[in-house]
Structure 1
Amino acid sequence: MMRQYELVERVQSYKPDANEALLNKAYVYAMQKHGQQKRASGDPYISHPLEVAAILTDMHLDESTIAVALLHDTIEDTTATRAEIDELFGEDIGRLVEGLTKIKKLDLVTKKAKQAENLRKLLLAISDDVRVLLVKLADRLHNMRTLDHMPPEKRARISEETMDIYAPLAGRMGMQDMREELEELSFRHINPEAYETVTKRLDELSTRNEGLVKKIENELRDLLVANGLATAFVKGRQKKPYSVFRKMQSKSLSFEQLSDVYGFRIIVEDIPSCYRALGIVHTRWRVVPGRFKDYISTPKQNDYRSLHTTIVGPSRQRIELQIRTNRMHEIAEFGIAAHTLYKDGAASGDETGARESNAYAWLRHTIEALAEGDSPEEFLEHTKLELFQDQVFCFSPKGKLIALPRGATPIDFAYAVHTNIGDTCVGAKINGRIMPLVTRLANGDEVEIIRSGVQVPPAAWEEIVVTGKARSAIRRATRLAIRKQYAGLGYRILERTFTRSGKTFSRDGMKPILHRLGQKDVEDAIAAVGRGELSSLDVLRAVYPDHQDERVSVKPPSGDDGWFNVPSASGMIFKIPGAAKTSLDGEGAGAHLPIRGISGNLSVHFSPTGAVPGDRIVGIVEEGSGITIYPIQSPALQRFDEQPNRWIDVRWDLDEANKSRFMSRIMVNTLNEPGSLAKLAQTVAGLDVNIRSLNTVRVAADFTELQLDVEVWDLRQLNQLLLQLSEMESVATVRRLYE
């Protein structure tokens, strides 16, 4: 375990004027608070914050950040409070320590939801001060280094969380060394067999090629020196096991097929020397086509800058080269940690100063998503999607650079520019040509979004897009559209219920009783009525507690006034009026509403045995699933006799220009003889009827009962089918089935 004085010496080695008193005070306080606590390894708990602080000294961070590392577990695991830390160390350090404290008491159903809420809290704290991220990553790194002392099930869970969130987060912030170590440690626990196999093969390769890396280093260095780059530094290394395994998986290659296991970095003094070194190398050795990337002129979003190329180099070995300056190398290794002193002017005027905030761009976009109120699970998915590393760079018509994950579409591009642009997107031009919205974008594409003010993003887009921001925005728009549809239905249900009771319904009248209904606002309450989750009679009684359940006769509306569109999953177009159950002998005639049209969100579906145009039909509001349409003969309607507020009178309103078939279920009792089924199918097909499904219900010695789901245009065609089937010699009986 590191000693207190060793930690102070490490900080003073790169910052001689460091506040030694602050470090000693933080150490003593943490030691006292953690007291006799032990880690799973049996070591004193104080060893953990000390090692976390030591990791941060490798990044040359200031003494305030080191103090936060020493204190980072005190609020979470000891009796320490935020107020106490504020008083002893100042509000700045107290705020950072609280940002690193997990949420202890969460009323959440799943561990995934708890994980998401803790991540949400962490990201909010990071957006306020990036030092929270640096301490958190160092904390996770030390925990991963000592993970062997944890139970196997915890090792797997922590490793998966590290691989999914913390390693990509480190990479997204440009901290490549930390990312690689986190990936290696996670890989060892998530897939130990693969880790052992790949490590063994790499060790064998290293033994077989002993001296090869050094030979290539010397040959590259001699070439650069001979061409005037005397100060160039060349360093080679073998790729890490997880990097090799990931490439084998993504490219479907065996270990023997890998040709670029070795990578080399060339460090030069300035940017012109980077391009000069590239020219020297390309002139000497053959380039592998399609493997050159210029991240100097187009840096990654995490501020990473380098030239990448792959050559068939010395000894005919295929090798990857990264060419960069010392400053670029510092940022590539330590990422955002290389910028932590910028407030003191240390980074002002350097070659990356103008781009210093790039690494925060993703974080700001993520924080925007937090304000949209996504569920914890959706937020976690959104964040994981945004952590993808492999990117393409596209341009708007005005030249704005947009970085997107590989595989992104114009829809992702539209949402990356602005949520409103994504919501109103109807088409796209890629490099001046109109292309499908499912087109995958490539590096350098210029994308122009075509918009429409009446567009609503289809729910199916969620399966097309790859960015978390786009997926989250589409879900949000879908939810709002569904709520709007259900609210329209709920309003008419409430209006009808209030009118039949001699009362007048108004939104303002619902405001005082929302708490009694368990709803946040009036629109939520009305939508809940439309979904069948809240009874219109309960709303009536809440608004008028003295109400007696007596119906008042009202004149039914004439014509189509007040009817509104409701979407159906089947493609049928419907219209609906209100939600009062009318008697079946004609009372309330004219009060039924036609249901017209399917725009896509509010679910209108048929009973399992179906209904066809020409049937007298009725709608039943189903809790959470919209409206189910039943033929009036359906025995299932008896279940709702005591729930009149769930009945909706509906009628067919067909669009002749877009006719649809409708399903109905029939039972056929046919002779059990060869060819009878073929004759039946021939009769059905001859009437232009489609058989959706056919099931054998019962087989006797002489007869077979067949259940057919058939698709017909209307009741007339269905009756004609029943008549012709009954006249067949091989058919004993045929009847229509109702649920």
Structure 2
Amino acid sequence: MLRQFELVEKVKDYDPDADEAALNRAYVYTVQKHGAQKRASGDPYFSHPIEVAGLMTDLQLDEQTIITALLHDTVEDTLVTIEDIEANFGPEVARLVDGVTKLSKIEAMPENERAAENLRKFLLAMSEDIRVLLVKLADRLHNMRTLHFIKKPEKRQRIARETMDIYAPLAERVGMYEYMREMQALAFRELEPEAYTTITKRLDHLRNQDGGQVDAIALKIKQALAEAGLTVEVSGREKHPFSIWQKMSERHVSFEQVTDIMAFRVITETEADCYTAMGILHTTWQFLPGRFKDYISTPKNNGYRSLHTSLMYENSMRVEVQIRTREMHQRNEFGLAAHWAYKQHDEADGQVGWLRDLIEIVDASHDAEELLEHTRLAIYQDRIFAFTPKGALFQLPKGSTSVDFAFAVHTDLGLSTVGAKINGRHMPLRTPLNNGDVVEIIKGAAPEPQLSWLGFVVTGKARAAIRRAVRLKERAEVAQIGSKLFDEIATQVPARIGKKAIRGAIDRLGLDGAEDLMHAIGSAKLSDREVMEALVPGCTADMDEDAQWPARDRAISIKGLTPGVGFELAQCCHPVPGDRIVGLRRKGETVLVHTIDCLELINGVDTDWLDLSWGKRSHGAVGRLSVTIYDRPGTLAEMAGVFAQNKTNVTSLSQSEFDDPFVTYEIEAQVQDLSHLARILSALRASDAVAQAERL
């Protein structure tokens, strides 16, 4: 643990103008406030914020960030308040500390909701000042270094999983690769202990067997470049256990089949030397097609710049080589932190445009699960590059589609997308994009996002925006249904219902507005009686509790609908429980439920299609049949007897055709489900009076 004078000296070494008194005061403050608190390791608790501050000094960050690191746990774990921090250290430090601090009131929430709420608050603070993220990443890194001291395995697993899913990817997205690699290694050791141990032992064995092969290859690379007149530094290492395990998992291969275990880094003097070095290496050794990436001319979103290539070395050994300048290397390893150290704050802020997407996700996410899912999608995927027709470049996750691209350009464009051209050709919206594709989005007149898009979009921003838009659309439709039902209810009230009565009902029911009232009625959250009583208090006092209200309850329930959305069974195909069904929804109308083979579906191209199924207790529907009987006395009665024996009621019977000696009737009958209908048809076909019986 850094002593007080050591910490101050480290800061003064790179920032002679730093406020020494403020640093000393913050150091003493955190020691005093954490007092006798202990960590799981048995160390004094204040050793943790001091170590985090030490990590910040390694990155040569400003004094406000160092002080924030020293104080970052005082509000959460002691009686100190944000107001106390502001009074002692000023508003800037107070704002940064508040950004890093977890909300104490969310400790009673379920685990996933608590994690989501922490993440929500953290992302919002991070968008205002990226230093919040830098302190948080250092905080998490030090916690991971001491993770093994926590006794409860489930808590260790939770922290490791959160680190792997959220914080390591965030470190990568801001270019802090040293932090990312160490977090991944520590989390991997906890989450996959057997795999970690096995790979580590294999690497140790390989290292003992190769007789200094890594150093020998590095020397050969350096010699080849030196002969061409380049002054370079070359270093080599085996890849990290987690990186090897990723390749094994992605390629479904064993350790022995992973051929590119060795990686080498070439540091050059100038950017031009990078390309010269690459050319020399490609002519000295065979390079692997498809494995070359130029992140110098096209940097990653986080500002990472380097050339990547893979070579076939002697004895068919694959080696990976990264080529970069010294300045690139410094920025690549420490990312945004390096920009802050060099006081290039504007450049640093310019590299985190993706934060705006995260904030949109925070606003659009409906609950904890959605927020965590969308955030993981936004920060943890390999990237591809695609262009607008005007040449603007957008980085997207692998597997992204034109819809993802549209949302990356602007949320409004994504919501209005109706088609797309990829490299000048009309292509389906679900077509995955490739590196270098030029994408032209065809925009509709009004936003009409489709629920089916969720089946192929991959970005968190797109999924969050689509879900939000669909929820709002469905809410409006439910409210529209509720408005029609409200008109029916209003006719039963012994008074004329105007705006004043509606406002009074809204207040009595504790709702926010007329739309909320209509939505509550449409989604069956309010009964007719409750609405009537809210409109005219006392009007239901003399009514029998068992009075017959207009029946809206169904014996049929449908799965796949948003709760409260109204539906009707289509009259063209008369679906009955047991049929495979699909729903068609037009704006402002209830969902029409059709059988999957209904011919009317061909007219549903301009509607939203919903994949539906019957609820478990669904029963009771109208079956429509065509029955041809012999035209002789008694046959009609015999057919009626078949329906009676099968306990069904004929609600409609009409003669549709006469072709002597046959008469054909179209019949509508009440049936319980598909099997009941099948039994009736079987009984009809077995009757001597019936020539033919089919379902219409």
Residues 410 and 398 (structure 1 numbering): CA distance in 2 closer, same or farther, change over 3 Å?
Answer: same
C-alpha spacing 1:537/1:322, structure 2 compared with 1 (3 Å)? same
The aligned counterpart of 1:510 is 502
Q: Is contact 1:459-1:474 (8 Å) kept?
A: yes
1:96-147: per-residue Cα shift (whole Å, max 9, x none)? Answer: 1111111111387521011101111011111111111111111111111011
The residue correspondences of 1:394-409 to structure 2 (distance < 5 A) are 394-409=386-401
Query: Which string of whole-angstrom CA distances, capped at 9 and with x for unpartnered residues, describes residues 445-467 of structure 1?
Result: 11112232356222122121111
Cα offset, 1:506, TM superposition = 5.2
* 1:491 to partner: Cα distance: 0.3
Shift of 1:242: 0.4
Task: Look up the match of 1:159.
Answer: 160
1:131–1:309 CA distance, 2 compared to 1 (3 A)? same
User: How far apart, CA to CA, are the structure 2 residues paired with 1:6 and 1:312?
Assistant: 48
Question: Which segment drifts farther, 498-507 or 200-209?
Answer: 498-507
1:358 Cα offset (Å) = 4.5
TM-score normalised by the chain length of structure 2: 0.81
621, 645, 649: which one pairs with 1:611?
621
* Contact 2:419–2:443 under 8 Å retained in 1: yes
The reply to whether residue 290 of structure 1 matches residue 282 of structure 2 is no
Q: Matched residue of 1:399: which SS?
A: coil
Q: Does 1:20 align with 2:12?
A: no
In structure 2, the partner of 1:187 is 188
User: For the structure 1 residues 382 and 613, does the alpha-carbon distance in structure 2 shift closer, same or farther, using more than 3 Å as the test?
Assistant: same
Alignment partners' CA distance in 2, 1:454 and 1:54: 54
SS of the residue corresponding to residue 340 of structure 1 reads helix
Q: Match for residue 655 of structure 2?
A: none
Match of 1:533 in 2: 525
Could you say which residue in structure 1 is the equivalent of 2:219?
A: 218
Cα distance, 1:567–1:183 mapped onto 2, change above 3 Å: farther
Structure 2 counterparts to residues 183-332 of structure 1, below 5 A:
183-230=184-231, 232-313=232-313, 316-332=316-332
Contact preservation (8 Å) 2:504, 2:534: no
* Correspondence for 2:99: 99
Write out per-residue CA displacement over residues 197-232 of structure 1, whole angstroms, 9 at most, x where no aligned residue: 1111111111111311111111111221221212x1
Structure 2 residue runs of 5 or longer lacking an equivalent are 544-564, 570-579, 591-605, 626-645, 648-667
2:515 counterpart letter in structure 1: E
Q: Which amino acid aligns with 1:160?
A: R
What is aligned with 2:475?
Answer: 483
Change (3 A) 1:578 1:327: closer
| Aligned-partner Cα distance in 2 for 1:340–1:14 | 13
The residue aligned with 1:702 is none
Taking a change above 3 Å as real, the CA distance of residues 378 and 219 of structure 1, as seen in their structure-2 partners, is same
Q: Deviations over 1:588-631 (max 9, x none)?
A: xxxxxxxxx9745798978723523669xxxxxxxxxxxxxxxx
Aligned pair in 2 of structure 1 residues 92, 437: CA closer, same or farther (>3 Å)? same
Q: Equivalent residues in 2 for 1:352-501 (5 A)?
A: 356-372=348-364, 374-453=366-445, 456-501=448-493
Amino acid at match of 1:22: A
Between the aligned partners of 1:409 and 1:207, the Cα distance in structure 2 is 47
Using the TM superposition, give the Cα deviation of residue 192 of structure 1 relative to its aligned residue in structure 2, in angstroms.
Answer: 0.6
The amino acid that maps onto 2:434 is: A
> Structure 2 vs 1, CA of residues 723 and 263 (structure 1 numbering), >3 Å: closer, same or farther?
same
In the alignment, the residues of structure 1 paired with residue 587 and residue 308 of structure 2 have an alpha-carbon distance, to the nearest angstrom, of 63
Change (3 A) 1:434 1:578: closer
Distance 1:250 1:397, change over 3 A: same
SS at match of 1:106: helix
- Note closer, same or farther for the CA distance 1:614–1:542 as it changes in structure 2 (3 Å cut): same
Partner of 2:179, secondary structure, is helix
Report if the CA contact (8 A) 2:383-2:395 is conserved. Answer: yes
Deviation at 1:728, TM superposition (A): 10
Structure 1 residue 570 corresponds to structure 2 residue 568: no
Q: Give the secondary structure class of the aligned counterpart of 1:309.
A: strand
Matched residues in 2 for 1:573 and 1:470: separation?
24
Return the letter of the residue paired with 2:463.
Answer: R
Secondary structure, counterpart of 1:500 in structure 2: coil
Identity %: 47
Counterpart residue type for residue 222 of structure 1: Q
User: Pick from 723, 732, 735: which aligns with 2:684?
Assistant: 723
CA–CA separation in structure 2 for the residues paired with 1:36 and 1:666: 72
Structure 1 residues 321, 421: closer, same or farther in 2, change over 3 A? same
CA gap 1:168/1:279 in 2 versus in 1, 3 angstroms: same
Structure 1 residue runs of 4+, over 6 Å off?
A: 572-579, 601-607
Q: Distance in 1 between matches of 2:282 and 2:428?
A: 38
The letter for the 1-side match of 2:24 is N
| CA contact 2:311–2:320 (8 Å) conserved in 1 | yes
Shift of 1:528: 1.6
Specify the alignment match of 1:32 in structure 2: 32
SS at match of 1:403: strand
Question: Displacement, 1:547?
Answer: 2.5
Q: Structure 1 residues 728, 277: CA separation in 2 closer, same or farther (over 3 Å shift)?
A: farther
Amino acid at match of 1:340: W
CA distance in 1, matches of 2:568, 2:451: 13
Residues of 1 paired with 2:449 and 2:13: CA distance?
57
Instruction: Note the 1:623-662 alignment, pairs <5 A.
Output: none
Q: Which runs of 5+ in 1 are unaligned?
A: 552-563, 580-596, 616-633, 636-661, 668-691, 693-706, 711-717
Of the structure 1 ranges 536-545 and 239-248, higher mean CA displacement relative to structure 2 is found in 536-545
Q: Say which SS state the counterpart of residue 364 (structure 2) adopts.
A: coil
> Aligned in 2, Cα 1:507/1:199: closer, same or farther, shift over 3 Å?
farther
Rounded to whole Å, the distance in 2 between the matches of 1:423 and 1:505 is 38
- Tell me whether 597-606 or 484-493 shows the greater mean CA deviation: 597-606
Using a 3 Å threshold, how does the CA distance of structure 1 residues 358 and 578 change in structure 2: closer, same or farther? closer
Structure 2 CA distance for aligned equivalents of residues 414 and 148 of structure 1: 45
User: What is the match of residue 590 of structure 1?
Assistant: none
DSSP 3-state at the match of 2:124: helix
Change in Cα spacing, 1:506 to 1:220, as seen in structure 2 (3 Å) is farther
Deviation at 1:316, TM superposition (A): 4.5
Matching residue's letter, 2:68: V
Distance verdict in 2 for CA 1:725–1:385, change over 3 Å: farther
Residues 446 and 503 of structure 1, relative CA distance in 2, 3 Å threshold: farther
- Judge conservation of contact 2:340–2:348 (CA < 8 Å) in 1: no
Residue 663 to residue 358, structure 1, CA distance change in 2 (3 Å)? farther
- CA distance change for structure 1 residues 228 and 663 in 2, over 3 Å: closer, same or farther? farther
| 1:4 alignment counterpart | 4
Q: What is the TM-score when the length of structure 1 is the normalising length?
A: 0.76
Distance 1:505 1:384, change over 3 A: farther
